[in-house]
Structure 1
Amino acid sequence: MGGGLLQALVGVSEKAAGIARLCRREEPLFQLLVAEKTGPDKNRRFLQDFKTLADVLIQEVIKHDLGKEFPELQGHIHGEESNEFRNTHGDTVAVRVCATPGDTAALLLSVLEPEKVAAELLAAAVHQEVELGDPELAGVTLSIPPQDLAIWIDPIDSTNEYIGGREDVVPIDGIAPTGLCSALVLIGAYDRHTGCPVLGVINEPFFRRDPLTHRWQGRYHWGVAYGDTKLSSLSPPPPPRPVPCVVLSRAEGSAVRGALGPLCGDRLRFAAGAGYKMLCVLLGLADAYVLSEGSTFAWDSCAPHAILRALGGGVVALAGALGARRAGDSGDLPELVYNRPAEGVVGAERWANRGGLVAYLHPQHLEAVLAALATAPGL
């Protein structure tokens, strides 16, 4: 039961990555992607930006392909974006995958007109079959009933880097401070009843350029943490370093930077994109990612969280964890869950990871980070 679900998640992540690359590679799409619409132009084409259409289309492709293969998941595949667009005539168009490439192209053209070539390029990518050719992944068999699961999708995490991201950013100890490489496709499955993340796929559409064709090539990572089953495409982490490396957002405040300075010394790093910072932890480039704001959402963290759990780590809510440690509670800290919207708020904010978070691989690094932050004023 559900043995093919992990393979299906990876397959749709590869299709999504292909669409993300296509939008930057093909001139008619790239011009739409980077066009800054101002003044009367802003409303002439359609009321949302093309980048939103790219996000929505990827999200709808993932919903369509997974729902078709696993009907039990229909109605339980969630993302950040609404699929409704207003076109230039003021009509509302629901973006979806149609029965044929021609039908999908016609639907996309009703949003994009007069950009016929752009609509056709996108429709062809939407209907493409993906062949994985990954023997290790093909050999994984799981008995996870799909009807127990629900999905969070972030179609293109780090949208600003996706649109304007530089392609030549030099990493610092393997961590890119900004740039196109931090734009990721994130697909995570969680247990509908407990909210616990159990399957995760992170796809890096812009991992490296092919030296001959100069085209972007991607790669993906996956993890399973279901009951006693812990599997991942990533190697188990090496033993913990004595001095942890912590990755932060550039927008992180002085309280967190000041508190972590004595713990990390010169090993504080900065990067764009919540998904990318968690990937840095997963790859062992950083030991923890700390965020003090509630500026990430369920769709940002679900996939990386599942892979972290597969490797023995996790993601805790920073405010709750600090409260527990300051109160002298030395027990296990509750991890983020993905099935409980916040009460009293509307829209996307219902799914914010309120109170910040700490993503970690080694529990002792989590404790060291919390001990350092517990002394910080204002946290």
Structure 2
Amino acid sequence: MAGLLQALVGASEKAAHIARLCRGEQPLFQLLVAEKKGTDRNRRFLRDFKTLADVLIQEVIKHDLGKEFPDLRGHIHGEESNEFQTGQGDTVTVQVCASPGDTAALLLSVLEPEREAAELLAAAVHREVVLSDAELAGVELGVHPRDLAVWIDPIDSTNEYIAGREDVTPLDGIAPGGLRSALVLIGAYDRRTGSPVLGVINEPFFQRDPQSRRWQGRYHWGVAYGATRLSSLSVPPPRPTPCVVLSRAEGAAVRGALEPLCGGRLRFAAGAGYKLLCVILGLADAYVLSEGTTFAWDACAPHAILRALGGGVVALAEALRARREGDAGPPAELVYNRPVEGAGGAERWANRGGFVAYLHPQHLEAVLAALGTVPGL
């Protein structure tokens, strides 16, 4: 599994490079930020290119992991379908071809007449990633890829990625929105139990180089397998008064229940992956989501890192129901191998009933106690 962890990190680095390329190279940037006005083609093309970037990154990760680990083929899942509808009504299956030229030709069938854009993307797809991370190279573990499956979120917080706001001022280290919240998420889970085992979070837009003004990224990883807990990060200390991060769409009842617990220190941010990362980094002590508006691909990678650090992601509705029935045992955590019964499409993998992400058990218990009084939860 050490090789698989390195492969996940390498795949996230290639994905982050493609995400930055789309914003840093003019032929791609102009497609990405085309104004939503004028002809129908302009409006459609903006949407199409955004979708193409997502799909392409997902397919690159699937290709690279499947090539190196054949046992994973058929068990690498993502948010996007790889079938792409062109402006002419044709269906193109987005995939990594045998050569950069073949991949460029396939992309040109979608991007016509933008040949330079297609060639830039194809070169990035076939680019070799070399990692120089001694700590990562030293990880030795004993689970076989045939026991695992993978969830990918190619660009989490896509709307923030497209909007591209760079001047968002963080509050207590938490950015309310902007490019910082656009992440690449790759998580592996145990096929039998559904428990998250490996997680990689890549921040393509972590900071700008002061000289070149180009974006630089960073990544984080975690392993939670059996008794093994390893991470590129250290466990941040708990605050006496917890800070909780929420979506701005969170309801007034949940906000009202949590404000006294936090001393009024509720924080708000975009992107489920980014809010989970805020907990991982210790910028917040918990992330509460009361609705089933996230999916397996949003949570799998961060959940693995949280487990590696001693925390977790608890199914909120189930945890509150158990508490009301007098069950004081450990609350059930999210699993990633169990589709929602009777649901179709993406909803099969929704995190129904919401969740609480946490690092320190005392904060989880405090949050559950505060939410236990909210009607409807």
TM range (shorter): over 0.9
Cα displacement (A) at 1:88: 3.0
Q: Deviations over 1:61-120 (max 9, x none)?
A: 000000000000000000000011122332211000001000000000001101101100
Whole-Å Cα distance in 2 between the matches of residues 179 and 148 of structure 1? 37
Matches within 5 A, 1:24-63: 24-37=23-36, 40-42=39-41, 49-63=48-62
Matched, 1:129 2:128: yes
Whole-Å Cα distance in 1 between the matches of residues 44 and 318 of structure 2? 45
Say which of 280, 283, 287 aligns to 2:281: 283
Cα displacement (A) at 1:374: 0.5
Q: Deviations over 1:217-265 (max 9, x none)?
A: 0000000000011000001232x22110000001100010000011001
Q: Greater CA deviation, 275-284 or 87-96?
A: 87-96
Q: Which residue of 2 aligns with 1:169?
A: 168
Q: Which residue of 1 aligns with 2:219?
A: 220
Q: Deviations over 1:286-316 (max 9, x none)?
A: 0000000100000000000000000000001
Which letter does structure 2 place at the counterpart of 1:338? Y
Cα displacement (A) at 1:36: 4.3
Q: Which residue of 2 aligns with 1:159?
A: 158
Whole-Å Cα distance in 2 between the matches of residues 257 and 375 of structure 1? 12
3-state SS of 2:335 partner: coil
Asked whether the 8 Å contact 2:181–2:274 carries over to 1, the reply is yes
Which letter does structure 1 place at the counterpart of 2:25? E
Say which of 344, 347, 358 aligns to 2:345: 347
Q: Which residue of 2 aligns with 1:310?
A: 308
Matches within 5 A, 1:189-228: 189-228=188-227
Which letter does structure 1 place at the counterpart of 2:27? P
Q: Which residue of 1 aligns with 2:77?
A: 78
Structure 1: any 5+ residue segments left out of the alignment? Answer: none
Which letter does structure 1 place at the counterpart of 2:203? E
Q: Which residue of 2 aligns with 1:270?
A: 268
Q: Deviations over 1:179-205 (max 9, x none)?
A: 110000000000000000000000000
Q: Which residue of 1 aligns with 2:186?
A: 187
Which letter does structure 1 place at the counterpart of 2:242? P
CA RMSD in angstroms, aligned pairs only: 1.4
After superposition, the Cα gap between the structure-2 partners of 1:48 and 1:166, relative to the gap in structure 1 and judged at 3 Å, is closer
Cα displacement (A) at 1:40: 4.9
Which letter does structure 1 place at the counterpart of 2:240? P
Structure 2: any 5+ residue segments left out of the alignment? Answer: none
Whole-Å Cα distance in 2 between the matches of residues 143 and 202 of structure 1? 22
Whole-Å Cα distance in 2 between the matches of residues 196 and 25 of structure 1? 37
Asked whether the 8 Å contact 1:165–1:180 carries over to 2, the reply is yes
Cα displacement (A) at 1:49: 1.7
3-state SS of 1:203 partner: strand
3-state SS of 1:4 partner: helix
Cα displacement (A) at 1:42: 3.7
3-state SS of 1:255 partner: helix
After superposition, the Cα gap between the structure-2 partners of 1:331 and 1:94, relative to the gap in structure 1 and judged at 3 Å, is same
Q: Which residue of 1 aligns with 2:146?
A: 147
Whole-Å Cα distance in 1 between the matches of residues 46 and 220 of structure 2? 35
Asked whether the 8 Å contact 2:242–2:285 carries over to 1, the reply is yes
Say which of 361, 364, 367 aligns to 2:365: 367
Cα displacement (A) at 1:327: 1.6
Identity of aligned residues (%): 82
Which letter does structure 2 place at the counterpart of 1:316? V
Normalised to the residue count of structure 2, the TM-score between the two structures is 0.98
Asked whether the 8 Å contact 1:208–1:217 carries over to 2, the reply is yes
Q: Greater CA deviation, 146-155 or 168-177?
A: 168-177
Whole-Å Cα distance in 1 between the matches of residues 218 and 2 of structure 2? 22
Which letter does structure 2 place at the counterpart of 1:303? A
Asked whether the 8 Å contact 1:149–1:192 carries over to 2, the reply is yes
Which letter does structure 1 place at the counterpart of 2:270? A
3-state SS of 2:2 partner: coil
Q: Which residue of 1 aligns with 2:355?
A: 357
3-state SS of 2:342 partner: coil
Aligned length: 377
3-state SS of 2:187 partner: strand
Cα displacement (A) at 1:343: 1.1
3-state SS of 1:53 partner: helix
Asked whether the 8 Å contact 2:33–2:46 carries over to 1, the reply is no
Matched, 1:321 2:319: yes
Which letter does structure 2 place at the counterpart of 1:83? N
Say which of 289, 292, 295 aligns to 1:294: 292
Whole-Å Cα distance in 2 between the matches of residues 40 and 179 of structure 1? 28
